[in-house]
Amino acid sequence: MVLATNLGFPRFGAGRELKKATESYWKGTLSLNDLFKTAKELRLRHWSMQKDAGINHIPSNDFSLYDQILDMCCLLGCVPERYGWSGGTVDIETYFAMARGSKKAPAMEMTKWFDTNYHYIVPEFYKGQTFNLASTKIFDEFEEAKAAGIETRPVLIGPITFLALGKMKDEGLEYQDLVKKLIPVYAQILQKLQKAGATWVQIDEPYLAMDICEGTKEGYKAAYKELAKAAPGLNILATTYFEGLRDNLDLALSLPVQALHLDLRRAPEQLDIVLAKIPKGMMLSLGVVDGRNIWKNDLSASLAMIEKAVAKLGTDRVMVAPSCSLLHSPIDLDLETAMDPQIKSWMAFAAQKLAEIAVLAKGAEKGRDAIQNELTQSDKIVQDRKISDRIHNKIVQDRLAAVTPEMARRKNAFPLRQQAQRARYHLPTFPTTSIGSFPQTPEIRKARAAFKKGDLDRNSYEEAMKKEIAYVVQYQEKIGMDVLVHGEAERNDMVEYFGEQLDGYVFSQHGWVQSYGSRGVKPPIIFGDVSRPRAMTVKWSTYAQSLTQKPMKGMLTGPITILFWSFKRDDVSYETSCKQIALALRDEVADLEKAGITIIQMDEPAIREGLPLRRADWDLYLRWAVESFRLSVCCVEDTTQIHTHMCYSEFNDIIESVGALDADVISIETSRSQMELLDAFVAYKYPNEIGPGVYDIHSPRIPDTAEMVDLLVKAKKVLDPDLIWVNPDCGLKTRGWAEVEPALKNMVDAARTMREKQKKAAA
Ligand code: GLN
Ligand code: ZN
């Protein structure tokens, strides 16, 4: 029979119960027992939901109190020494210390899970690394479900992916040696699961769909040979997701596993070749329902793919699945009570996706007639979206079609622009500025909440924000900043703020997706062609400018960042959406310039995370990303100075494209790495002006003048001093005034010191 299966489910709960419980536990207002109780209730609730939806293979151990990779570290006894763990089962204090740090030891590093916005804890490997079974979670949860009458398919991160995700912290560690040490523990886990009654396990190996080296390929072969022997009779499903198998296809098909999962949303074209090559007896899990997005499935199109597989393999060798774990979708569309009904009718969150999977499995098993109603309904939705004039805006499309290369080019090259800008602004050397936001104080948040609720009228809200802006302007004047900002008090979030003012966007009330630990994000949703009905920031920026003689920098979020921090359309390319957003921003840039705001910053912190997972796809992405950015800003006079800002970025891979953005000034994060991140710019001979961050805003620490001077001296050694700006690493919105005031004052003093040094050297 065609099985309806799932790979993982969101953990927080419809009311974000898990988030609230863990945070209360950390605060000390909830007992450990109560935290465990909430966790257990959520697991049972979610397993039941899946069972009721008709899912045959329900995952367990996909739940986590913090992160599934952290859980794997504990399962495998891979606990860094600094936590003082003395062996045995990893206890909850150690677990949370690894996640969040403790008085004794800093937290483990966190990084992005492939190209999602989920962040995992990075495993650490040291000289003399050993592994041993050190957690019972995966077994406990299997038993827990069984006791509730639900048979589950336990989920593990596979050994090769686990190693690939981690970091070798010592020199001289041998990869193959780590593989060898890891396998016996995995073997033990499989044996224990089998003994407990599991018939299937899901082993996630997303690295099978990434660019991997020969050593890793060897690792795969060696590991799975052993795992297949470890628990004969226990069926292994190896999953890949977020990309197609491509050059690793033969490797994947050669592994001695009972089933292989394919992401057919990201790479539908791989189905044919897999069907042509699949060995006898291997089952296929077809990831046809998008686990990363919020759109309803096109059931007819999915069924066509499944039928193709069934025709070749028979019903007994086919599973229907989401493309990846549903962890990356919001939990339940039914919670959305305020959403426009037509737009809502196009969507499916995790709970609705379960139903889609079950229907598809039924259709594949019993024939199209058995699900005729659902198919008709789905076809209608597909058609509705195809022709809806709420999605398709002819004006936007015509405008995009008429874009010319000149529109993405400044009037003159940087050296001429630089001259023009210097003549206009007369800034000192080492000019000081900030990245945009100032502290989002409790008062600001309270005012916004009251305004949203309707307790505060628009006028009073705007007056309150103006007062904040005035304060920020005054403060910057007082300490002697050169290029001022208005502080972004009126913005909830750098993407949401623009999404709310653009056509083609819709917002959910409960569309939370886990970002890391107890933190979630609620991405805005792009549902149609994007356009700007009216100016978005001009009023605020001109107000701020009216308060000062100094230049006021206009602040915008760039098209790439707006795209990647939103749920995207699945009916047009990313490039199309990105360029539509770019055109909308272009109008804003033009309006700002017209209104006398002639220093404008277009933030692009997401440019690097948009990089495709496979290198072969990078060039194409970078080409349209750069074009989009340039399209958004290249409508201004030479005297108008375009800034951009990027943070959390390793630039080596993309430095040429960063150069190609051709911003007059770029500010980047460099203080934590002691200017190391500058290397890429130096090696590339980055020609335009650059502000290497000198104040680490991620820490409450207040840097003193001397240490910022040190950093600037370092920067001056490798860059032309005439190109250097002085600024913090990122926006200040998460900091308090008590830290920001002295820190920025010290920063301005550091710039002054640099100028004096320069004068002395010249004299
Ligand atoms: N202008 C934004 C701010 O200052 C930039 C934030 C970011 O780069 N993440 O908050
Ligand atoms: Zn930043």
Given a cut of 80, whether residue 121 has pLDDT beyond it is: yes
Amino acid sitting at position 538: V
CA–CA distance, 668 with 670 (Å, rounded to integer): 6
Q: Which of 96, 100, 105 has its CA nearest to residue 71?
A: 96
Tens of pLDDT, residue by residue over 250-277, are 999 999 999 999 999 999 999 999 999 9
> In 197-292, where does DSSP find H-type helix?
214-230, 249-254, 270-277
In Å, what is the CA distance from 645 to each residue of 105, 115, 358, 422, 730? 32, 21, 45, 20, 8
Measured CA to CA, the distance from residue 715 to residue 679 in angstroms comes to 10
Going from the Cα of 739 to the center of ligand 1, the distance in angstroms, rounded, reads 18
Q: How confident is the model at residue 652 (pLDDT cuts 50, 70, 90)?
A: confident
Q: Which of 553, 603, 644, 733 to mutate to test the pocket of ligand 1 (most atoms within 8 A of CB)?
A: 603
597 Cα–ligand 2 center, Å: 21
| Alpha-carbon gap, residue 439 to 62, rounded angstroms | 37
Tens digit of pLDDT for each residue in 20-77?
999 999 999 999 999 999 999 999 999 999 999 999 999 999 999 999 999 999 999 9
| Token pair recorded at residue 674 | 């002691």
User: Measured from the CB, is residue 317 less than 6 Å from ligand 1?
Assistant: no
Residue 673's pLDDT is: 83
Identify the helix (H) or strand (E) that includes residue 668.
Answer: strand 665-668
Q: How far apart are CA 430 and CA 450, in angstroms?
A: 41
Give the C-alpha separation, 494 to 597, whole Å. Answer: 19
pLDDT higher than threshold 70 for residue 648: no
Q: Ligand 1 in contact with 361 (CB < 6 A)?
A: no
pLDDT tens by residue, 351-407:
999 999 999 999 999 999 999 999 999 999 999 999 999 999 999 999 999 999 999
d(Cα 688, Cα 185) in Å, to the nearest integer?
Answer: 53
Place of tokens 């939103």: 566
Ligand 1 pocket: which of 645, 668, 670 to mutate (most atoms within 8 A of CB): 645
What is the rounded radius of gyration, in angstroms, for the C-alpha atoms of the chain? 27
Position 756 pLDDT exceeds 90: yes
At residue 3, the 3 state secondary structure works out as strand
Q: Could you give the CA distance from residue 591 to residue 629 in angstroms, rounded to a whole number?
A: 17
Protein residues near ligand 2, an ion, with CB under 5 A: 605, 647, 730
Of the candidates 39, 38, 62, the one whose C-alpha atom is nearest the C-alpha of residue 50 is 62
Secondary structure of the chain: what % helix, strand, coil (to 5)? 50, 15, 40
Q: Residue for token digits 């800003």?
A: 633
CA of 385 to the centre of ligand 1 (A): 34
DSSP string of 281-305, one letter each residue: T-EEEEEEE-SS--BPP-HHHHHHH
Distance CA 163, CA 553 (A): 45
- pLDDT(751) > 70: yes
Query: Which residue, 79, 72, 63, is CA-closest to 18?
Result: 63
What is the whole-number distance in angstroms between the Cα of residue 646 and the centre of ligand 1? 8
End-to-end CA distance of the chain: 86
Q: What CA–CA distance (Å, rounded) separates 35 from 21?
A: 6
DSSP-assigned letter for residue 519: E
Residue 157's DSSP bridge partners are 204
Average of per-residue pLDDT values in the chain: 97
C-beta of 494 in contact with ligand 1 (< 6 A): yes
Cβ–ligand 1 contact at 285 (below 6 Å)? no
Ligand 1 atom showing the smallest separation from residue 491 Cα: 10
Phi (first) and psi of residue 576, to 5 degrees: -60, -50
pLDDT of residue 582: 98
| Shortest-distance Cα residue to atom 6 of ligand 1 | 731
Locate the ligand 1 atom nearest the alpha carbon of residue 494 and give its number: 2
pLDDT bin (cut points 50, 70, 90) of residue 320 is very high
Q: Rounded mean pLDDT of 476-497?
A: 97
Q: Phi-psi category of 322—alpha, beta or left, where left has phi over 0 and alpha has psi -120 to 50?
A: beta
The Å distance, Cα 604 to ligand 1 centre, comes to 9
With beta carbons less than 8 A apart as the criterion, state whether 710 and 670 touch: no
Question: Is 57 a pocket residue for ligand 1 (Cβ < 6 Å)?
Answer: no
Among residues 475, 477, 472, 505, the alpha carbon closest in space to that of 490 is found at: 472
Task: Answer for the pair 697, 438: CB distance below 8 angstroms, yes or no.
Answer: no
Please work out whether the CB of residue 435 comes within 6 Å of at least one atom of ligand 1: yes
Tokens read off for 527: 């549902």
- Band of pLDDT at residue 97, cut at 50, 70 and 90: very high
- Between the CA of 697 and the centroid of ligand 2 the distance, in Å, is 9
The pTM of this model reads: 0.95
Instruction: Identify the bridge partners of residue 3 per DSSP, sorted by sequence position.
Output: 319
Q: Report which protein residue has its CA nearest ligand 1's atom 4.
A: 731
**pLDDT bucket at 672, cuts 50 / 70 / 90:** confident
Query: Under 8 Å CB-to-CB from 678, ≥6 apart: which residues?
Result: 668, 670, 692, 715, 718, 719
The single residue listed with the structure tokens 């000062």 is 548
Determine the average pLDDT of the residues in 126-142: 97
DSSP string covering 38-59, please? HHHHHHHHHHHHHHHHT-SBEE
To test the pocket of ligand 1, the residue of 433, 437, 476, 732 to mutate (highest count of ligand atoms within 8 Å of its CB) is 437
Task: Report the alpha-carbon distance of residue 294 to residue 289 in Å, rounded.
Answer: 10
Q: Are 299 and 360 in contact, with CB atoms under 8 Å apart?
A: yes
Residue 649: CB within 6 Å of ligand 1? Answer: no
Burial of 294 (0-12, 13-18, 19+ CB in 10 A): buried
Ligand nearest to the CA of 740: 1
Q: Is 605 in the pocket of ligand 1 (CB under 6 A)?
A: yes
User: What does the pLDDT look like over 502-557, one tens digit per residue?
Assistant: 999 999 999 999 999 999 999 999 999 999 999 999 999 999 999 999 999 999 99
pLDDT at 14 over 80: yes
491 Cβ closer than 6 Å to some ligand 1 atom: no
Q: How far, in whole angstroms, is CA 104 from its chain's centroid?
A: 30
DSSP states of 103-169 as a string?
SSSPPPPEEE-TTSS-EEEPPEE-TT--------HHHHHHHHHHHTT--EEEEEE-HHHHHHHSEE-
Cα(708)–Cα(726) distance, integer angstroms: 9
The answer to whether the CB of 730 is under 6 A from ligand 1 is yes
What span, in angstroms and rounded, lies between the C-alpha atoms of 323 and 132? 32
Residue 651, pLDDT > 90, answer: no
Is any ligand 1 atom within 6 A of the Cβ of residue 485? Answer: no
- Tell me the best of 608, 730, 734, 735 to mutate to test the pocket of ligand 1, counting ligand atoms within 8 Å of each CB and taking the most: 730
Whole-angstrom distance, CA of residue 613 vs CA of residue 242: 8
> What confidence tens digit (pLDDT) does each residue in 187-236 have?
999 999 999 999 999 999 999 999 999 999 999 999 999 999 999 999 99
Residue positions annotated with a catalytic role: 698
Residue with CA closest to ligand 1 atom 9: 605
Burial degree of 753 (CB within 10 A; 0-12, 13-18, 19+): middle
Beta strand 167-168 pairing with 553-557: unpaired
Quote the CA–CA distance of 14 and 337 in Å, as a whole number: 14
Residue 51 is encoded by which pair of tokens? 């069972």
Residue 493 CB less than 6 A away from ligand 1: no
Q: How far is the CA of 436 from the centre of ligand 1 (A)?
A: 6
Please give the distance, rounded to the nearest whole angstrom, from the Cα atom of residue 603 to the centre of ligand 1: 7
In angstroms, the CA 220 to CA 426 distance is: 61
Beta carbon of 558 within 6 Å of any ligand 1 atom? no
How far is ligand 2, taken at its centre, from the CA of residue 665, in Å? 14
- What is the structure's pLDDT at 649? 63
